[in-house]
Amino acid sequence: MLYYSLNKKAPNASFKDAVIKGLAPDKGLYFPETITPLPQSFFEDFDNLSHSEIAFEAIKQFVLPDIPENILKQIIEETLSFEFPIVELTKNISTLELFHGPTMAFKDVGARFMARCLGYFNKNNTKEVTVLVATSGDTGGAVANGFLGVKGVNVVILYPSGKVSDIQEKQLTTLGQNITALEVNGTFDDCQDMVKIAFLDNEITNRIQLTSANSINVARWLPQMFYFMFAYKQLKNTYKHIAFSVPSGNFGNVCAGMMAQQLGLPMDHFIASNNENNVITEYLKTQLYQPKPSIQTISNAMDVGNPSNFIRIQEIYKHNFEALKNNLSSYSFTDEETKEAMKEIYNTYNYVADPHGAVGYLGAKAYLKNNPEAHCVFLETAHPTKFLDVVEEVILQKQDLPPQIQAVMDKEKASIAVNTYEDIKAYLLA
């Protein structure tokens, strides 16, 4: 498989080169040259296939021959070492729990897959690779955990000071070894902009091999197809019309679901559920894409004012606005609406949702008003105890910490405070 830059001004790249570079030389996102749908019989046979077998068939066309089949199967087995259960709330609404991995966030899948791919590519390489990543919350912890101790890989994580939860901060600042956290005086968009500038800075790239572990990297983004398939496997014998409500920030997750659909996965519709950072909600109303500064909310992983992956979504639909709008709805909700949804989910269904999942639940309800025949699955993207202050304040119930969270609570935070891009550049060059 070859990948082309969405800026269309760079040579095509292999999977290996696309993973190692992260961004194309023209700073465009990489996109697969072809998407070959899988036979319908594959989806009909899901009941007889394991998660690892489904994942291998889904992703092999995008990875082979850069990683041999036996190694790819091993990477998948190690990546998918936890469950992806569906919890049914009503005959119309279920939630897909994506928080059973080591850092209790959906990004564990992509981070673990990418870390193992990069580790394979780098096993005989004497030159170190620096993974430079911006996080609005969960990416940092998942990447730190996934890459911890990987030979020849240094990880530098930029996160906005005071704008991630205490537990999220612990997960990305306490591991040590090859992981460094830079605490930025600013927003997630500031962090993301600094990462992009670093990739453009020849003084850095001439001396350091940089790659990104945000969902702009194909090895972080594509594995997220898996859990849409796992959800379909659990629901296909019960429900005919399945839609997914995806809490959306950088839009890598919903974009991966659309890739699964391109492979032939039978699903009806996607809902991009936004907090008050509603650039795509407005775009689908007006056809005008207008990035704007991000707004801080209680669903902080979605506080993104210029979603990087939306250009991939436009590419999937060949920049046909009507075709995209037929397959994607988007709704935006305030913090107060999110809190009311958390209360409703707890009081009505005895289920504790995190703020991001609650936004997904609201998106599902909004879609069902005009599509009552659908069964809507909202993604519960992080364990509620990662947002302990908000959750306990809203549902008025103390929550027990799971082992994965307890393991980091007493560790000492280690971060480097930075204020400007020049601070970050100086650190990288040092």
Domain ranges for the chain:
85-106+220-404
pLDDT at 138 over 80: no
Q: What is the mean pLDDT of residues 219-246?
A: 96
The model's pTM is 0.91
Residues in the chain: 430
Confidence tier at 15 by pLDDT (50, 70, 90) = very high
Q: For residue 135, what pLDDT is reported?
A: 85
State mean pLDDT over 256-268.
97
Q: What is the mean pLDDT of residues 350-361?
A: 97
Q: What is the pLDDT of residue 403?
A: 86
pLDDT at 282 over 90: yes
The pLDDT of residue 167 is 83
The pLDDT value given to residue 350: 96
pLDDT value for 164: 85
Q: What is the pLDDT of residue 407?
A: 80
**pLDDT band with cut points at 50, 70 and 90 for residue 430:** confident
> Does residue 139 surpass a pLDDT of 80?
no
CATH number for 85-106+220-404 (one of 3.30.390.50, 3.40.50.1100, 3.10.20.90, 3.90.550.10): it is 3.40.50.1100
pLDDT in tens, 18-63: 998 888 989 899 999 999 999 999 999 999 999 999 999 999 999 9
Confidence at 344, pLDDT banded by 50, 70, 90 = very high
Confidence of residue 170 (pLDDT cuts 50, 70, 90): confident
* pLDDT above 70 as % of the chain: 100
Cβ neighbours of residue 180 closer than 8 Å, sequence gap 6 or more: 154, 155, 156, 157, 416, 427
* pLDDT of 151 strictly over 90: no
pLDDT number for residue 150: 84
The catalytically annotated residue of 107, 163, 365, 386 is 107
pLDDT of residue 209: 87
Most confident listed range (106-110, 153-157, 306-310, 312-316): 312-316
Q: Residue 402's pLDDT band (boundaries 50, 70, 90)?
A: confident
| pLDDT confidence band for 221 (50 / 70 / 90) | very high
Q: State residue 124's pLDDT score.
A: 77
What is the share, in percent, of the chain residues with pLDDT greater than 90? 70
Q: 8 catalytic, yes or no?
A: no
When pLDDT is cut at 50, 70 and 90, the band that residue 163 belongs to is confident
pLDDT at position 79 is 95
pLDDT over 80 (residue 140) = no
Q: Convert 63-77 into a string of H (helix), E (strand) and C (coil).
A: HCCCCCHHHHHHHHH
| CA-only gyration radius of the chain, Å | 20
Cα–chain center distance at 186: 21
